[in-house]
Amino acid sequence: MRLPADGPLSLRCHPATPALGLRTVSVQVAAAADGGLRLAFRLGGDLARLRVPAAGIPARSDELWRHTCGEAFVAAEGDPAYREFNFSPSGAWAAYAFAAYRQPALPPGGPPPAVICRRDGDDLLLDVMLAGAWLPAGSARELGLTLVAEESGDDGAASLSYWALRHTAERPDFHRRDSFAVTLPALP
């Protein structure tokens, strides 16, 4: 089953990694004129527990998934190849390409994604603009939208929860193609 890409899409926390204070995560998806994507992640709940990386100089950085970050997995419909993007509230970002399930490939280049984090009332917003140069062209796109949340427990220890549109395995695994739950039509 594919979900429509109009309106905010709710992410679910994986049952094996319960959240401590985060209660809701949604993502608004919009296609940009250049074939890129605008993603607006909205996080709600007890945000005092959420560990949010401090704003920094936007730069490419690996292992963002070890802390709070939004993620997008993008593939051309029917193609085993896909791309992974990570967006930290700090402004750091990462881009990866895979020829098939977890088989690394050379990613295309593109301008750095714009990543802006801000408070909106009681919620935290993570707005991302990803240029079309990074994405597969010419066909409908399948998306996996995910979030890793790092929170502080009562004892101060860090805890990670994993959020996605669809979880399809006993442990969180965002690379599984059956979890790419949104299809966007091809741009003319």
Q: What pTM, to 2 d.p., does this model score? A: 0.94
Question: Distance between CA atoms of 132 and 75, rounded to whole angstroms?
Answer: 13
pLDDT at position 3 is 45
Question: Is the predicted pLDDT of residue 133 greater than 50, yes or no?
Answer: yes
- Which domains does the chain show, CATH number per domain? 9-184 (2.60.40.1190)
Asked if residue 38 has pLDDT above 70, the reply is yes
Contact 145, 182 (CB under 8 A): yes
Q: Give the residue-averaged pLDDT of 129-134.
A: 94
Average pLDDT over residues 64-89: 96
As to burial, measured by CB atoms within 10 angstroms (0-12 exposed, 13-18 middle, 19+ buried), residue 75 is buried
Residue 174 near residue 144, CB atoms below 8 Å: yes
- Interacting residues of 75 by C-beta distance below 8 A, sequence separation 6+: 81, 82, 83, 136, 141, 142, 177, 180
In the block, tokens 């292992």 appear at 63
Task: Please give the average per-residue pLDDT across 28-53, as a whole number.
Answer: 93
Scan for tokens 């896909």, then name that residue.
82
Q: What share of the chain is helix, strand, coil (3-state, %, to 5)?
A: 5, 45, 50
Poorest-pLDDT segment among 71-75, 80-84, 112-116, 153-157 = 153-157
Report the distance separating Cα 58 and Cα 132, nearest Å: 19
